[in-house]
A and B are shown apart, each in its own frame.
Chain A
Amino acid sequence: DAGITQSPRHKVTETGTPVTLRCHQTENHRYMYWYRQDPGHGLRLIHYSYGVKDTDKGEVSDGYSVSRSKTEDFLLTLESATSSQTSVYFCAIRPGGQGNYGYTFGSGTRLTVV
């Protein structure tokens, strides 16, 4: 209903394994973002995309990579999961251009690394 879905909703994985989270949008928005939410830190930006194949790092990008091969999908990969990456991951989308647009957030993926 919000035009943005994340999958999976929950995942438990082992330390050292690669993990990919998916964000899918139906709004044709230009900008897509990946955040992690941790107590005491709020939401911190991991990576973002400003177009197909155009991505850039956020403030906590170490250990993460992203890809955007088409407008609607933005993938976040944990190359080798660590316990410090246990978190709730949110994807967000936003139309292009300046203006006081609010972001639309996905429902989140709760990732546990054991």
Chain B
Amino acid sequence: AQRVTQPEKLLSVFKGAPVELKCNYSYSGSPELFWYVQYSRQRLQLLLRHISRESIKGFTADLNKGETSFHLKKPFAQEEDSAMYYCALSGWGSGNTGKLIFGQGTTLQVKP
């Protein structure tokens, strides 16, 4: 079964602290993995995709196929990072056709 799990509903940290948002996935083929961010009641925006290995707004994420994880990290949290973060998986092959499957989301709250 294809599944994305974000175990934390809420992650609260102080400004300047490191952040790690966890994401684990289940997929039988080669997945495409993404992180999306949603600021208060706005549209979802693509933050990162695993294939590009880029750093956006100081966030990075590494795909660990052995642990089937794609955790999102930032060394020093900023107040403007407060938002909902979704991990998502997409795949191709029988019955998938690139549908994006989301985790339940993690709310990141950065306190001053």
Contact status A100-B49, CB under 8 Å: yes
**B70 CB within 8 Å of chain A:** no
Interface of B is mostly: loop
How distant is the Cα of A90 from the Cα of B61 in the complex, in angstroms?
A: 25
Looking at A15-23, A63-71, A72-80, A105-113, the stretch in contact with chain B turns out to be A105-113
Contact status A100-B32, CB under 8 Å: yes
- Write out the residue numbers on chain B whose beta carbons fall within 8 Å of the beta carbon of A45: 99-101
How distant is the Cα of A45 from the Cα of B88 in the complex, in angstroms?
A: 12
Contact status A100-B50, CB under 8 Å: yes
- How many positions in chain B have a CB within 8 Å of any CB in the partner chain? 26
How distant is the Cα of A16 from the Cα of B97 in the complex, in angstroms?
A: 33
- Write out the residue numbers on chain B whose beta carbons fall within 8 Å of the beta carbon of A92: 44, 100
- From the candidates A33, A40, A98, A106, name the one contacting B99 in the complex (CB within 8 A): A33
- From the candidates B44, B98, B102, name the one contacting A98 in the complex (CB within 8 A): B98
Contact status B32-A90, CB under 8 Å: no
Contact status A44-B102, CB under 8 Å: yes
- Write out the residue numbers on chain B whose beta carbons fall within 8 Å of the beta carbon of A90: 43-44
How distant is the Cα of A92 from the Cα of B51 in the complex, in angstroms?
A: 20
B84-107 toward A: CB 8 Å interface, digit per residue (1/0)? 001000001000011111111100
16 additional A-B residue pairs with CB within 8 Å, beyond A44-B102, A45-B101, A104-B46? A2-B43, A33-B99, A35-B102, A42-B86, A43-B102, A45-B100, A48-B97, A50-B97, A92-B100, A100-B32, A100-B51, A100-B52, A105-B36, A106-B43, A107-B42, A107-B43
Chain A positions within 8 Å of B, measured between CB atoms, are 2, 31, 33, 35, 40-45, 48, 50, 56, 58, 90, 92, 94, 98, 100, 102-108
Chain B positions within 8 Å of A, measured between CB atoms, are 6, 9, 32, 34, 36, 41-46, 49-52, 86, 92, 97-105
